[in-house]
Amino acid sequence: MKIKQLPIILFFFLFSFLQLTAQEFKLGKVSVAELEEKKHPKDTAAVAAVLYKKGISYFDYNEINGFVLTTEVETRIKIYKKGGYEFANQTIGYSISGNSKESVQISDASTFNLVGGKVEKTKLKSDGIFDEPVSKFYGRKKISLPNVKEGSVIEFKYTIRAPFVSWMRDWRFQYSIPVNKSEFSTSIPEYYVYNVMQKGYIFPKKTVETKSKTIISTTKERSEGRVTQTSFSTDKTDYFEVKTTYSIEDLPAIKDESFVNNIDNYTSSLSFELSAVKWPNTPVKSYSSDWNSVVKTIYDYDDFGPELNKTGYFEDDLKKLLTGITNTDEIILTVLNYVKSTVKWDGNSSYGCDVGVRKAYKEKTGNCADINLMLTAMLRNAGLTANPVLVSTRSNGIALFPNRTAFNYVIAAVETPNGIILLDATSKYSSPNILPFRALNWQGRLIRKNGTSEAIDLMPKKASNDNVFINYEIDAEGKVNGKVRRQYTDYNAMSYRNEVDGVKEDVYLEKLENDNNKIEISEYSRTNEKEILLPTIESYSFKGDNLAEVIGGKIYINPMLFYTNTENSFKQEVREYPVDFGFPFTDRFNITIKIPEGFAVETLPAPAILAMEDNLGTFKFNIAESGNSLQLSILHQINEAIVSVEKYEMLKEYYQKMIAKETEKIVLKRI
């Protein structure tokens, strides 16, 4: 009986071995089956998929540099459709610190295609590799894999050697395409302690093992005497290395949703940062175990704290500028406007100065730290309590965990008896407490001179208004003539000013006409375009032949014309991420409609009021007939910049009902 079972047992082990072998990926060994696959088995709409991604970060020791951090990453991607061609273009960033920088080596980069039933390999050549400096802190290497077609499989490997160990590479498990398998391992000597920060809703499987390691170092000694002799001694140091492996299989593509701050905030990934160094017989050196230690470390950087204390470059100019000004609000506005007009932002984000405040002031250009640390220093010189605030921009993600790389931007803050005023001189149209949209990202970290810090809420609380006044008349053929006066405040005003800045008026008007049902605009004007403390106003006359329908002698028209919301941005059944509007807002419409002679109202939309719980938002719709005119008043107000997932269903229903009401038509009949 036992002998009869032997073939079954052998078959089981053989089958298991074949399965294991089939799951192993080795660069250059692309199978015919992978190339023949026409669509992803679990996501048939996918334009591409990561078949396998593996990374390792480890430390090597040498007597010249000590421990050196190396990261190796190899990836295989399947291209299903033309929309997946973009994945043949890859970017690997690298850091620069003073005279040292990370080195990046690209290897084993090839494209595989099935030609005549055989695997054809096309290697990446040197002309497909590009090295681009971005700033003095950052550069990037780009590769563009050749001969990519629908059905191709691409592979590449890169190795990064870092002369500094303060942070390790982030590891991203999830992408906008499915990932079949992703694995990352770290091998860290016992001397280094790293904080591991995890984001996303899908967590990797984690395994840990400890190994013994040895460092052998050679010491050379010379003895002086009648004959100089050199002797060598060997030292041996034993230590432990902890290897941690993180792995996930069958990750779905992460789907972006409307009004998401930054989808990377919710993407399954790992971040690592050095939090402490524990050398034998030496006190533990802590770096970033909490926000206070993070802030102290950043403040002590040469390109941060010391830059705030530099003098002798602006004082005389500032003294002349502030002569006779004593009101705090006026001082703040005057200094802010002076910095904005004197030093232009070069587009680079960092909390560390690039050229330094003095050089930026002299050359009239700098990165955001050069500009906003200079602004802070000027405000202090003017006698105000001003301090820098560390910020993570929207594109950088939310600063969830205490670490030095959580922030990539800095603004200024003035503490007054009426509260904290936030300032950013990188933006042409910013004003006190009106920051560029990129900086509206949850919380920042204010740093005071005495080393203390506190969290600062960056999200606006005051509603930005969009007030629209429309007067129009309809003729018997359904043609519409009217006038619009639109007034923007605060963030809506900043957005409008940025939109029209540098754009020729005829180009802007052509877009406005096309976006609004092909209307024809005349008598266009703007008010307060440059007066940033005042609401900006846009006025124009318009004609439209496509704004109403005449059917069977009746006129059908949406009373809000081209301002009608027709589509709900919140369609998905289940929302995974908070809804981020950026700032609270209030939209008001006051509309007067003149009924054409010979017509009367047959049908009017009924008045309506919608109110969400917790004062989240309100919609009011009211319309009334007065002689040969209709008066329409609409209010749409959202009172929170960020709406939690728990309130999504309520918000979705609110928008559905609001759109249903806005799209109801007025019907006019002949009399």
CB 170 within 8 Å of CB 269: yes
pLDDT reported for residue 100: 82
Closest CA to 371 of 381, 357, 355: 357
pLDDT band, residue 15 (cuts 50/70/90): very low
d(CA 37, CA 635): 53
Q: Region of 304 please: left (phi>0), alpha (psi -120 to 50) or beta.
A: alpha
Closest CA to 359 of 318, 389, 314: 314
pLDDT band, residue 495 (cuts 50/70/90): very high
CB 464 within 8 Å of CB 489: yes
Least confident residue range of 115-129, 215-229, 497-511, 641-655? 215-229
Listed in order, the ranges of the chain carrying CATH 2.60.120.1130 are 464-670
pLDDT reported for residue 16: 38
User: 558 vs 224, 565, 660, 664, CA distance in Å?
Assistant: 101, 10, 11, 7
Contact residues for 40 (Cβ-Cβ < 8 A; gap 6+): 46, 49, 78, 80, 178
> What is the pLDDT of the chain when averaged over all its residues?
92
**Per-residue pLDDT averaged across 262-285, rounded?**
90
pLDDT band, residue 508 (cuts 50/70/90): very high
Does residue 339 have a pLDDT over 70? yes
| Tokens (6 digits) for 211 | 């190994």
pLDDT band, residue 293 (cuts 50/70/90): confident
pLDDT reported for residue 309: 94
Least confident residue range of 86-95, 137-146, 220-229, 286-295? 220-229
pLDDT band, residue 223 (cuts 50/70/90): low
Greater confidence (7 vs 478) lies with: 478
CATH class of domain segment(s) 291-457? alpha beta
| Tokens (6 digits) for 627 | 């002689």
For 98-147, the pLDDT digits (tens) are 778 899 999 999 999 999 999 999 999 999 999 998 877 789 999 999 99
Please tell me what DSSP assigns to residue 312. S
Structural fold of domain 464-670: Jelly Rolls (2.60.120)
| Tokens (6 digits) for 195 | 């904080």
Helix (H) or strand (E) holding 427: none
| Tokens (6 digits) for 447 | 């740093």
- The helix/strand/coil state of 663 is coil
Listed in order, the ranges of the chain carrying CATH 3.10.620.30 are 291-457
The greatest distance separating any two alpha carbons of the chain, rounded to the nearest whole angstrom, comes to 128
Contact residues for 51 (Cβ-Cβ < 8 A; gap 6+): 25, 34, 76, 77, 78, 153, 180, 181
| Tokens (6 digits) for 283 | 């006190």
Listed in order, the ranges of the chain carrying CATH 2.60.40.3140 are 31-277
Helix (H) or strand (E) holding 515: helix 505-515
The pairing of strands 89-97 and 100-101 is: antiparallel
- The helix/strand/coil state of 325 is coil
DSSP for 450-486, written as a single string: TS-EEEEE-S--SPEEEEEEEEEEE-TTS-EEEEEEE
What percent of the chain has a predicted confidence (pLDDT) above 90? 80
pLDDT reported for residue 286: 80
Closest CA to 458 of 641, 645, 328: 641
pLDDT reported for residue 224: 59
DSSP for 123-152, written as a single string: EPPGGGEEEEE-SSSEEEEEEE-SS--TT-
pLDDT reported for residue 292: 85
Contact residues for 630 (Cβ-Cβ < 8 A; gap 6+): 559, 591, 592, 593, 595, 601, 604, 623, 624, 666
Cα-only R_g, the chain: 32
CB 557 within 8 Å of CB 666: yes
Could you confirm whether domain 31-277 is CATH 2.60.40.3140?
yes
For residues 456-484, b (16+ Cβ closer than 10 Å) or e, as one string?
bebbbeebbbbbbbbbbbbeeebbbebeb
d(CA 664, CA 183): 54
pLDDT band, residue 219 (cuts 50/70/90): low
Q: At what angle do helices 368-381 and 328-342 cross, to 10 degrees?
A: 150
Please tell me what DSSP assigns to residue 116. T
Q: How many secondary structure helices (H) and strands (E) does the chain include?
A: 11, 37
What percent of the chain has a predicted confidence (pLDDT) above 70? 94
d(CA 304, CA 74): 37
d(CA 54, CA 142): 19
| Tokens (6 digits) for 44 | 């048939």
Does residue 43 have a pLDDT over 90? yes
pLDDT reported for residue 45: 96
For 590-631, the pLDDT digits (tens) are 999 999 999 999 999 999 999 999 999 999 999 999 999 999
CB 521 within 8 Å of CB 513: yes
Greater confidence (438 vs 229) lies with: 438
pLDDT reported for residue 22: 44
pLDDT reported for residue 569: 93
- Torsion of Cα atoms, 657 then 660 then 663 then 666, to 10°: -100
CA dihedral over 31, 35, 37, 41, signed as positive or negative:
positive
DSSP for 610-655, written as a single string: EE-GGG-EEEEEEEEEETTEEEEEEEEEE--SEE-GGGHHHHHHHH
pLDDT reported for residue 534: 97
User: What residues are paired with 172 via a beta bridge?
Assistant: 269
For 575-593, the pLDDT digits (tens) are 989 999 999 999 999 999 9
d(CA 438, CA 440): 6
Does residue 228 have a pLDDT over 70? no
pLDDT reported for residue 2: 35
- The owner of tokens 């002689």 is 627
For 519-573, the pLDDT digits (tens) are 999 999 999 999 999 999 999 999 999 999 999 999 999 999 999 999 999 988 8
